[in-house]
Amino acid sequence: MSPVRFTPVTTGVQNTTQTQTSAKQAQGSSSFASELQSEVTKQSGVTLSAHAQKRLAERNVQLGPDEQARLGVGMDNLQQKGADKSLVLLDNLALVVSARNRTVITAVDSTNAKDSVFTNIDSAVIV
């Protein structure tokens, strides 16, 4: 939503060009924002950062459709609670995620998670 700008108007005089331009910009911004939100909602997927992709590949871990769906539900729950950086426990994986961006930041499997310390997180969810 674009910020509202107040412009002084002299009584009896109105700058219709400026009003029409502002209205078109507001409509265009609103239209773009709603289209973007619609597309994000439609996909409602989770993005893997390059680092997370690398970690998963190194450990021969693949997230199947079931795991991706569960991760998406976990992200939804985190977003509803206002979480930002979170730990998601998914089967034998520990994932540090950005709930706001719906992005997996890094991934650790159970064999490499021993003695691991996860910092800079504000929440955790088990999915």
Does domain 46-126 bear CATH number 3.10.50?
Answer: no
In angstroms, the CA 98 to CA 102 distance is 6
Q: 86-106, pLDDT tens digit by residue?
A: 999 999 999 999 999 999 999
- Express each pLDDT in 34-58 by its tens digit: 565 445 444 558 999 999 999 999 9
* pLDDT at 78 exceeding the cut of 50: yes
Q: Where exactly are the structural domains of the chain?
A: 13-43, 46-126
Pairwise CA distance, residues 71 & 56, whole Å:
15
